[in-house]
Structure 1
Amino acid sequence: MKVYHVPGTRSIRVIWLCHELNTPLEIETIPKFDAAFKASPEWRAKSPTGKVPVLEDGSIVMYESGAMVSYILDRYGPGRLVPTDPEALALYHQWCWFAEATFARPLGDIIHHTVIKPPEERIAPLVPDAMQRARLCLDGTEACLVDRTYLLGDAFSAADIMMGYSMMLAERTGVLTDSHPASQSYFALLQEKEGYQAAVAA
């Protein structure tokens, strides 16, 4: 199994998960992830939108990090890092989707219009609204974490891996501050995990 990796991107989730599962993973770091590479026919054949990560496992090619997490758990980690209780499983799925579809979206807007896009393409008025939306997401996460260690309680799950990357973005964009102390403590705990450290260092 191989993941195409760019440091600081969602491939962190895949590397972290495989570390937690002790599942072998080849990491191919893309040395120059520029516009020409993203638009190349070879890369677009793997990733239609030109983004990372891409996961290859035999004939399987995937380009959504959340789907990769689910696939790896199903194939290489059945019964691990996912609750079996139906109510806990419902919350698990909700947090996985929330981390990417809801929380990461405004964080991505902030990063694109402050860092990634060329200055002439940035739309500065979008940033305050994105900050507000991201903080609203963090408010909900904070309320959950006030009385628990991880998103689902005392047990670490793959939902925390999904959320961990979003928390990393929240810290980098200035959304995660001491106004959300439970969330700060939670992210600090995630950062102590060997799997997180290995993924960030890759």
Structure 2
Amino acid sequence: MLTVHHLGKSQSERIVWLCEELEIPYDLKCYTRDAKTILAPPEYKALHPIGAAPVITDGELLLAESGAVVEYITARYGQGRLRPDPGDADFAPFLYWFHFANGTLQAAMGRVMILNRLNLPDDNPVLGAMRRRLDLAFASVETRCGEADYLAGDALTTADIMTVFSLTTMRYFLPYDLTPFPNIRAYLARIGARPAYQRAMAKGDPGMKLLLS
């Protein structure tokens, strides 16, 4: 049985959502962050040497890293869903946005989050450069969301599943105002209306306000 080990308010929400979109059987085990440190509890850290979310088990397999987990589940259980074929015109955009999610957007948010915690002055050149890079990442998503309903084109793919966490739940850790981005807000409204997304968030993070605007 595929088991998703979900840490609350973390990138593992991607995996719960993926399973709901694919409508595949899975066991969901939820873990709560430590109230003081806001970090994963010891029992979650013990699952994998890195101690970070997400983690899945599937029989004897133990796998971490959200991109790897998403690709594994899609390949093993997806039956061709949520991923364009290589000959499809949307394939290259799909690849770009799938890797942009953690390669650029989430990475930029993580760097700015850490730099903010150092209480650097606003005129610090490194902080300024990282904030500008983050602004450019959001601007890129805004442009793309004005071109198509979903990041790879007209249909939801795992590129969206990889990206939405950074636009929503990650803003609990790094607040970011979406007011200047009407296309992103319209995109998130489409995501929020999806029954699979609603089910995933209700199962994985019940009671959490969804930052869809």
* Shorter-normalised TM range: 0.7 to 0.9
CA distance in 2, matches of 1:7, 1:32: 6
1:182 aligns with 183
1:81 aligns with 82
Q: Assess if the C-alpha contact under 8 Å between 1:73 and 1:80 holds in 2.
A: yes
For 1:54-69, list aligned pairs within 5 A.
54-69=55-70
Secondary structure of 1:61's partner?
strand
Question: What is the CA deviation profile of residues 129-157 of structure 1, one whole-angstrom value per residue up to 9, with x for unaligned ones?
Answer: 44322211011112222121111221111
2:23 aligns with 22
2:210 aligns with none
Structure 1 vs Structure 2 CA RMSD: 2.4
Secondary structure of 2:56's partner?
strand
CA distance in 1, matches of 2:151, 2:59: 33
1:123 aligns with 118
Aligned-pair CA distance for 1:85: 4.2
More helix by share: 1
Q: Assess if the C-alpha contact under 8 Å between 1:131 and 1:175 holds in 2.
A: no
In structure 2, relative to structure 1, the CA distance for the partners of 1:193 and 1:113 (3 Å cut) is farther
Question: What is the CA deviation profile of residues 59-116 of structure 1, one whole-angstrom value per residue up to 9, with x for unaligned ones?
Answer: 11111011111111101112101111434222212111101111001212344455xx
Secondary structure of 1:67's partner?
helix
Percent identical pairs in the alignment equals 30
Provide structure 1 residue ranges, at least 5 long, that are not aligned to the other structure.
Answer: 115-121
Q: Assess if the C-alpha contact under 8 Å between 1:110 and 1:127 holds in 2.
A: yes
CA distance in 2, matches of 1:91, 1:136: 18
2:143 aligns with 143
In structure 2, relative to structure 1, the CA distance for the partners of 1:78 and 1:127 (3 Å cut) is farther
CA distance in 2, matches of 1:57, 1:135: 38
Secondary structure of 1:56's partner?
strand
Paired residues in the alignment total 192
Secondary structure of 2:168's partner?
helix
CA distance in 1, matches of 2:97, 2:114: 24
For 1:32-111, list aligned pairs within 5 A.
32-33=33-34, 37-38=41-42, 43-44=45-46, 46-86=47-87, 87-111=89-113
CA distance in 2, matches of 1:180, 1:32: 31
Secondary structure of 1:143's partner?
helix
Q: TM-score, normalised by structure 1?
A: 0.83
Provide structure 2 residue ranges, at least 5 long, that are not aligned to the other structure.
Answer: 121-125, 205-213
CA distance in 2, matches of 1:193, 1:18: 13
In structure 2, relative to structure 1, the CA distance for the partners of 1:109 and 1:159 (3 Å cut) is same
